[in-house]
Chain A
Amino acid sequence: MRFSGKVALIAGGANANPEKLLGFAGLSALEIARQGGSVVIGDIDD
């Protein structure tokens, strides 16, 4: 769990749904969370 206990703020990641096409932000958010981190996703695209 590489990101265990780590907290990330990710700008530009409206979409972190693994069932959709992901950008760098969304995929980063998903991987950090899957590896034990906590993620806050920020985007203008609510």
Chain B
Amino acid sequence: MQKDGLNERYVHLDVTSEPDWNAGVKTTISEFGKLDILIMAAGIPDRGETVDSTPIDKWRRVMDVTNLGMFLGTRTVVGPMKEASGGSIVLISSMMAKVARDQANAYAASRARMTHFARSVGVQYGPDNIRVNSVLPGWTYTPFTAPAFG
């Protein structure tokens, strides 16, 4: 992107790490002076898993990346957004937050939690002019889903 003249930086960000979030927000503000928008799009699949085949570690990992990630990210950005008199938080959820299937229970549960988290946090920070929305995409060909398309 930088070679195209676009304004972009990269930071290492493990969404389950509070120090990484703090560093990411610090870099954003030091480089560009403020933070208006957070898009949380990190995720981890559990394609094909059923409740009885999902290892506990896998369940925890899906919840950590999706739900601890959204919590830490939101918690880290609301302060700077308040200081900037507002902002927008977009959580990339999934149609799986609404649609019941016979597999991927951890993924579906984590996305439903994300969607309701967006609602409740949106109510909480609406008075601070911070909008919080979740997006529920259907099947879309991306690097994340490409293996399932074959």
Contact = CB atoms under 8 A, between A and B. Distances in A.
A24 B33 contact: no
Interface of A: 6-13, 15-18, 21-25, 28-30, 32-34, 37-44, 46
Contacts of A9: 24-25, 28, 35, 37-39, 77
B15 A41 contact: no
Contact of B6 (A22, A33, A43): A33
Nearest to A15: B143
The secondary-structure label for the interface of chain B is mixed
B103 interface: no
Contacts of A42: 10-13, 15, 20, 24
Contacts of B52: none
Interface residues of B, number: 42
Interface string B32-70: 111111111111000000000000000000000000010
B34 A7 contact: yes
Nearest to A17: B1
Nearest to B72: A11
Given A8-B37, A24-B92, A44 B12 contact: yes
A34 B8 contact: no
A38 B8 contact: yes
A39 B137 contact: no
A33 B11 contact: no
